[in-house]
Amino acid sequence: MTDIATTQLTTDEARELTAEIRRDLDGLLPKIKRAFEGRADKALGYDSWQAYCSAELSDVRVPVGSRPAMVAELRQSGMSQRAIGAALGVHHSTVAEDLKSTGGNPPVEPERVVSLDGRQRPAVQPKPEIPAADLAEFPELEHFADRPAKAAALATQLRGFEPAEQAARRETLGKVIQAEKEGRLAVQPDPGDEAVAQADRLFIAVNEAAQVAEKVGDVAAIEEAVRHADPDHIELWRTQFTDLAATLVRLAGACRPKLRSVQ
């Protein structure tokens, strides 16, 4: 890959170029490209390209009809979507939509782009994939190739079950997958790695607690022991069990609509 050559502007050059951008819409694109490549933001003492655009170019307005073509040209020059959005006064998601409308889906991308911090990176970031080990153990997870975080959470959950229970859960999962394929169940967006991780941690904790209770023995014996425990401990346990029970009931309720749709 070849790096994108850049040379920082002097303070006077940056000031003159900025003034030209403001008054010359027809020649806007070459000047924006030069300002970005030359780090006009740094030459004028700004902390970032976004800060520079907000302070110096906020009165530059691009006609909506002309914007997609301008966005495509700036992208081909090596600017990131966020950098383009800052220069044209639009959100980076609008830039993405403009690129789709002019270059197909996915749009034609340059090999490398320069980010807001001036660092170069590949224009298209590789998408996360489901680990091969998970697919080997649970082939049905291939259905969630576009939702790798969900697939990872499902694999972890399935491994937490004993063989018989795991087989039953996989059968249910198969019904969910079939319902999605047939359009009976809307595909839900990936909630994000952290949300999935939180749900996964709670599931594992509850599963472990259930296994411990099973191994300890008769619940009636535990109840008798609790009756003779220190009152402060009993109150603490009661509060914790009550809170946990309320949370579990709420989560179980959230599961019901989806389960009904795949029966």
Alpha-carbon distance of 157 to 143, in angstroms, equals 17
Domain that holds residue 238: 217-263
Alpha-carbon distance of 96 to 94, in angstroms, equals 5
HSE-CB for 38 with a 13 A CA cutoff = 19
**201 and 221 in one domain?**
no
Alpha-carbon distance of 74 to 68, in angstroms, equals 10
HSE-CB for 204 with a 13 A CA cutoff = 13
Would you list the DSSP string of 165-209?
HHHHHHHHHHHHHHHHHTTSSPPPPP--HHHHHHHHHHHHHHHHH
Residue 79 inside a domain? The answer is yes
Helix (H/G/I), strand (E/B), else coil: 218 = coil
Pairing type for strands 120-122 and 112-114 reads antiparallel
Instruction: Judge contact between 20 and 54, C-beta under 8 A.
Output: no
| CB atoms closer than 10 angstroms to residue 116 | 19
**227 and 192 in one domain?**
no
Place of tokens 């949370």: 247
- Given 75, 97, 122, which residue is the final one in a domain? 122
**73 and 26 in one domain?**
yes
pTM greater than 0.75 (yes/no): no
- Given 106, 122, 138, which residue is the final one in a domain? 122
Q: What is the predicted pLDDT for the residue at 104?
A: 47
- What digits encode the pLDDT tens for the residues 184-214? 655 555 555 566 667 667 776 776 666 666 6
Q: What is the pLDDT along the chain (263 residues), one digit of tens a residue?
A: 455 556 788 888 888 887 777 666 667 888 888 888 888 998 999 988 888 988 888 877 777 777 888 888 888 888 888 888 888 888 888 888 888 887 544 455 666 666 666 676 676 666 678 888 888 999 998 888 878 888 888 888 888 888 888 888 898 888 888 877 777 655 555 555 566 667 667 776 776 666 666 666 566 766 777 777 777 667 777 777 777 777 777 777 766 655 454 44
> Where would I find the H helices in 7-59?
11-23, 28-37, 40-43, 49-56
Under 8 Å CB-to-CB from 152, ≥6 apart: which residues? 130, 131, 134, 196
**89 and 68 in one domain?**
yes
Instruction: Judge contact between 72 and 107, C-beta under 8 A.
Output: yes
Q: What is the predicted pLDDT for the residue at 212?
A: 66
Number of structural domains in the chain? 3
Residue 256 inside a domain? The answer is yes
62-88: burial string, b at 16+ Cβ within 10 Å, e else: beeeebbebbbbbbbbbbbbbbbbbbb
**115 and 25 in one domain?**
yes
Residue 30 inside a domain? The answer is yes
